[in-house]
């Protein structure tokens, strides 16, 4: 019984994270982890969420 509850909680956490990412991508945000993600073109300098990490 405890195993089923543990799996349900883990599934809920993973589902919530996937839902958050899906909603943010639908809003057009390229770098979800970036504080400037609403205005980010995907090539921001120094953003840990971007694929282009050309700081400095």
Task: Spell out the SS3 assignment of 5-24.
Answer: HHHHHHHHHHHHHHHHHHHH
Q: What is the pLDDT of residues 6-37, one digit of tens each?
A: 999 999 999 999 999 899 888 877 777 776 65
Provide the Cα torsion 15, 17, 20, 22; round to 10°.
-70
Is residue 1 pLDDT above 70, yes or no?
A: yes
Whether the full predicted model's pTM is greater than 0.85, yes or no, is no
- Between CA 54 and CA 12 the distance in angstroms is 36
Is residue 39 pLDDT above 70, yes or no?
A: no
Q: Is 31 exposed, middle or buried (0-12, 13-18, 19+ CB in 10 A)?
A: buried
Q: Please name the residue that has the structure tokens 């019984």.
A: 1
């Amino acid at each position: 019984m405890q195993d089923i509850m543990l799996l349900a909680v883990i599934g809920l956490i993973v589902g919530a994270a996937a839902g958050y990412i899906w909603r943010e991508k639908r809003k057009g945000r390229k770098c979800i982890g970036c504080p400037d993600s609403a205005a980010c073109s995907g090539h921001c300098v120094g953003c840990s969420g971007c694929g282009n990490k050309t700081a400095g």
